[in-house]
Chain A
């Protein structure tokens, strides 16, 4: 096929627009750049101040911090994986209930009843000088709970 000037220019423009669109979809429009990366970490306090087998809600950090019997920490997002409502704690099951469409989760964040299809996301925890730092900007998806998701002192 012959490529004349008009076709060439049209295709060039289409190509540029597609690349731009691709970048937009991939990276979106960034509205604010934050000066330092450490801002993103949520400091939950001394690790030793948390009892085992207890659940601590951190509403401002948008997560529940659970310390299991063996001392492992798990920071679960409070956003329901169905459509993003905020789940409530359920004192009977030790897990969570969603007010919006009645999904239920157990204490590991796994689905007990639909419509949610995957467990609550969790956030990576690092421990520095005995303090728990939770990276609330990078929720991690999972298909079930396993030990490797826990963080130990």
Chain B
């Protein structure tokens, strides 16, 4: 099949290389759309589109404080299809964040991250970090008010890390404030180092998927296999076409934003971080920085990197949500965490002013420890309830924790994005 196609022509080496990303035969269950939703493939496609449009943008972009903004204007007004290319790049970057997040959700909840796949989960998390870092470094390049103040706000968050915070922020910015050095740093990372790392990690990622024997599937005695060409490849081409068509269509009507040129002397009101970091910024509004910038991010990262390696007792690899109970607990804890986070933030904003009530206590307790307890204690009671009442075991409880973390972050992100106006105050 692979060596001879319909016209009897043997495939070229380049074709063979691409064909070797897949095995020649594959389990029918693996190519069902609702096994992977094609999300990994969509991520790869978006990366390719980003690389191509990015290379084109490099022909007109000038990474200096004097010219960066003007070069974007030049692209917009004096270059044929300039704005369109920029829109494509902008949209693909947005979609890549969403797609890689959904891909993470799918591999996690389909229990595809254990044993041999554990290593690939780590590579995946590193790629997620790269996706965010790429978006973040790209965000600064237009050098408009949006870019300048978003990067200012985020690099200031780094300063809250004890001991090394200031040096680290200085290293990232190349300076005390966001300026030409920062632009140079970000440009180098965005168009050089990060894409290169990405290509390396992606190659490893694909190789490890194949090494683990393809996508994870529930154990079964009888396995039905079909040819990858045309069964899988035709589906991939179809999905890719739909994604590309949608991107092109949206890029015609939706312009990537560009505000006034950056003015370091005037902050817009409100100054928000890039949308995918808004959850983190929201946390910083309510919690003492030692918790919101140090303990919670590090604990969460540790938890996610550890996920494949915790002790589990009844893993059903490849089974969605592990068990019917797992499905129930995931959905319920996700919904409850979303609402609970919202309600807690609403109360912290309007009624619970621990910083004023306990003004002679150290702020790490009044605005740190107490709000954290307000969140953690109900969550712990909730998990205990599942354990006692429904005999949820370790596997399901850890799954509930993951759902609670993801859902709370989304809740905070949406609050910050949609419900905060001037002075970052809630609009109701």
Contact = CB atoms under 8 A, between A and B. Distances in A.
A85 B152 contact: yes
A117 interface: yes
Chain A CB within 10 A, most for which of B153, B164, B425: B153
Given A28-B170, A28-B171, A99 B285 contact: no
B137 interface: no
A83 B171 contact: no
Contacts of A62: 265
A141 to B, nearest CB: 9
B64 interface: no
A31 interface: yes
Interface residues of B, number: 35
Contacts of A83: 152-153, 156-157, 271, 284
Given A100-B153, A101-B285, A86 B265 contact: yes
A99 B271 contact: yes
A99 B270 contact: yes
A102 B423 contact: yes
Range, interface on chain A:
20 to 34
Contacts of B214: none
Per DSSP, chain B at the interface is: helix
Interface in A55-96: 59, 62, 79, 82-86
Contact of B363 (A31, A99, A117, A137): A117
B276 to A, nearest CB: 17
Given A99-B267, A101-B270, A114 B355 contact: yes
A45 interface: no
Contacts, number: 72
Contacts of A129: none
A92 B56 CA distance: 52
B153 A31 contact: no
Nearest to B267: A85
B266 interface: yes
Contacts of B269: 99-100
B121 interface: no
Nearest to A32: B181
A60 to B, nearest CB: 8
Nearest to A60: B265
Nearest to B290: A117
B84 interface: no
Interface string B256-287: 00000000111111110000000000001100
Nearest to A137: B176
Interface string A110-150: 00001101000000000000000000010100000000000
Interface in B96-123: none
A88 to B, nearest CB: 9
Contact of B181 (A31, A59, A82): A31
B174 A86 contact: no
A78 to B, nearest CB: 8
A85 B285 contact: no
A26 interface: yes
B399 to A, nearest CB: 34
B167 interface: yes
Chain B CB within 10 A, most for which of A62, A84, A85: A84
B267 A100 contact: yes
Given A83-B152, A86-B265, A101 B423 contact: yes
Given A31-B184, A102-B425, A86 B285 contact: no
Given A100-B424, A117-B363, A86 B170 contact: no
Contacts of A101: 270-271, 285, 423-424
A25 B171 contact: yes
A33 interface: no
Interface string A5-36: 00000000000000000001110110100000
A115 B367 CA distance: 10
B362 to A, nearest CB: 11
A123 B46 CA distance: 48
A29 B184 CA distance: 11
Given A28-B167, A31-B184, A85 B265 contact: no
Given A25-B164, A100-B149, A102-B423, 20 more contacts: A25-B168, A25-B171, A28-B171, A29-B171, A83-B152, A83-B153, A84-B177, A85-B152, A86-B265, A86-B266, A98-B267, A99-B271, A100-B153, A100-B267, A100-B269, A101-B271, A101-B424, A102-B425, A114-B355, A139-B176
Interface of B: 149, 152-153, 155-157, 164, 167-168, 170-171, 174, 176-177, 181, 184-185, 264-271, 284-285, 288-289, 355, 363, 367, 423-425
